[in-house]
Amino acid sequence: MLTGVPPRARDLDIYLFPAIVGGGLGDIEEVLAAGRRLADAGFRLYRMRLGGRPLPRSVEGPWAWPPLARVAAPVSRSAKALTVSPMWGVTAAPPLDGRWGRAGPWAEESAAIERSYGPDAVVHASLEEFARTLTSRLETRERLREGGLSDREIRRRLGSRRTARERTSFRSAYRHFRGFDRANVVSIFAGFRPSRPFGREYPEAVQTGPLWPGRPRRRRAAGRPRRREWIWYASPSSSSQLVEAIDRGLSGLRPPVRVSVRAPRPLDLPGTGRWRYLPTLSARAWPARFARAELRIVTGSRTLLEALELGGPFLYFNGLTGSGRSRRRHRPEKIAALVGAGWAPGARDPVRRDLSAFSRGLRVEEIVRRAAGDPSWRRTFPALGRVTGFPPPYDDAGSFLVRLARDWAVAPVGSGPFVRSVRSAARRAIGLGRPGR
């Protein structure tokens, strides 16, 4: 519960809108993690789906849902409402004319809530992509890099008029699909550290520390377990490129290491007896199995944060694009931010180099053999340090959401002035003044 906070500060109807934005399931889990933090703080939660409409794909689970009520219409128990969604501008914004104007899977529910409470009594919390706070120039550079262009060609393209026009178009679309042009949307960009250049270009963005999964730590028995298991969440389609090298790195070890794979598509697994697919696990069984693993190979943002929260060794692979000299890491900003952020000073240089190389698909056999066979590598794997650059409650996205909900419940103004004050306070928290300064 919210210690010392009067009950009126929890008089708010909160609706969860879980959905997949990219290809992975982490967007759903992130909304549910936010819901767990809000439920722990004493707020009422709802999953509203208008009558007859099927849920977005994969939302049924199995998931670790927070306590909530499933309803078919706005409940209007309170005078105000808060919605929580992944990328509200994509999943819950109203439709627009044009090629990219299709309504998201929660658009009808979002509109129904605004009709019921009134738009001035609704705030939408939008959970944006984790650790992706790139300026329009850096976004353009990253797009060209993933497209396989050389550094020299990228520098040439960045100076062209055509690219300048593309950046202008990108910035306009980015502002719209991140909800910056909506007066009642709080767009939350969680990461390991704040980006002031991003904040200057997009002053409406609210930057915070990570939204932690909130899984309880499990005490491990002393010494090496008799059964050694690694768990690999092999979500990227290019995961198959690592299988043989991982298998070679694990060969000849005693006791042997078994790799349990969770993947959305079949991989061509070696017939060496070290590999198996995980069966479908319940919402309680998966975190327990994940926590027991000797090492975890993770991807994206949610499993990365789960591994960090649990502590202990992990490796990170988010996929590769292209081939040969044009081979590039896919979306490397998360592991790059981690290695260069608050966690990194506690990491030995060899560990940092190994994490970076493995994410590139380089030296995989060597790194795996060291991770499995060198106890000092595992023992000196650093615990997560406090993220830097964010004062409380911005250092933790869950704490920020609880503060947002509490403040919105008692705010004497409508959603527009309230959201403007939230955006302004978030800028000051990371050392930025008013827009334009």
pLDDT at 5 over 70: no
Instruction: Return the bridge partners of 187, or none.
Output: 126
Question: In angstroms, how far apart are the furthest CA atoms of the chain?
Answer: 67
Which tops the pLDDT comparison, 146 or 293? 293
- Identity of the highest mean pLDDT range in 126-135, 275-284, 344-353: 126-135
Sheet holding 44-48, edge to edge: 69-71, 44-48, 13-16, 81-86, 122-127, 185-190, 206-208
Mean pLDDT within 376-384: 76
Collapsed DSSP state (helix, strand, coil) of residue 325: helix
- From CA 376, how far away is CA 255, in angstroms rounded? 17
HSE (CB half, 13 Å, CA atoms) of 83?
A: 35
Distance of alpha carbon 402 from alpha carbon 398, whole angstroms:
6
Confidence of residue 9 (pLDDT cuts 50, 70, 90): low
**CA distances, 20 to each of 56, 76, 414 (Å):** 8, 27, 30
Q: Nearest-CA neighbor of 337 among 398, 392, 388, 396? A: 388
Q: Which residues contact 282 (CB under 8 A, 6 or more apart)?
A: 62
In DSSP terms, which residues pair with 207 in a beta bridge? 189
pLDDT tier, 217 (very low <50, low <70, confident <90, very high otherwise): low
Contact 122, 114 (CB under 8 A): yes
Separation of alpha carbons 35 and 44, rounded Å = 10
Compute the distance between CA of residue 151 and CA of residue 144 in angstroms, rounded to an integer.
9
What's the confidence (pLDDT) of residue 284?
A: 84
CATH class of the 228-379 domain in this structure = alpha beta
Q: Out of 116-120, 188-192, 257-261, 384-388, which region has the weakest mean confidence (pLDDT)? A: 384-388
For residue 184, the tally of other CB atoms under 10 A from its CB is 19
Average pLDDT over residues 28-32: 96
Contact 84, 14 (CB under 8 A): yes
Q: Which residues pair with 269 in a beta bridge?
A: none
- For residues 73 and 60, give the distance between their C-alpha atoms in angstroms, rounded to a whole number: 19
Inform me whether the pLDDT recorded for 142 exceeds 80: yes
Name the band, by pLDDT with cuts 50, 70 and 90, for residue 226: low
Q: What is the mean pLDDT of residues 166-182?
A: 93
The pLDDT of residue 385 is above 70: no
Listing DSSP states for 153-204 in one string gives HHHHHHTSHHHHHHHHHHHHHHHHHTTTT-TTEEEEEE-SS--HHHHHH-TT
Give the pLDDT confidence score for residue 2 in this predicted structure: 37
Contact 243, 365 (CB under 8 A): no
Q: Residue 27's pLDDT is what?
A: 94
Of the candidates 381, 351, 379, 383, the one whose C-alpha atom is nearest the C-alpha of residue 367 is 351
Report the candidate in 12, 158, 155 with the shortest Cα–Cα distance to residue 81: 12
Q: How far apart are the first and last CA of the chain?
A: 39
Tell me the average pLDDT of the chain.
Answer: 89
Provide the whole-model pTM: 0.92
Q: How confident is the model at residue 21 (pLDDT cuts 50, 70, 90)?
A: very high
User: What pLDDT band is residue 219 in, cutting at 50, 70 and 90?
Assistant: very low
Cβ(188)–Cβ(206) under 8 Å? yes
pLDDT above 70 coverage of the chain, percent? 90
Give the three-state DSSP class for 228: strand
- Give the range with max mean pLDDT: 51-65, 175-189, 273-287, 324-338: 175-189
In this structure, of 50-59, 102-111, 348-357, the range with the lowest mean pLDDT score is: 348-357
Structure tokens at 124: 């939408």
Q: What is the mean pLDDT of residues 210-229?
A: 68
pLDDT at 214: 85
Segment 401-408 mean pLDDT: 97
Beta carbons of 399 and 393 less than 8 angstroms apart? yes
Q: Are 358 and 316 in contact (CB under 8 A)?
A: yes
Whether 345 shows a pLDDT value over 70: the answer reads no
94: tokens are 């109203």
Is the torsion defined by CA of 302, 306, 311, 315 positive or negative?
A: negative
Q: Report the SS3 class of residue 81.
A: strand
Quote the DSSP letter at residue 43.
-
**Secondary structure class of 434 (helix, strand, coil):** coil
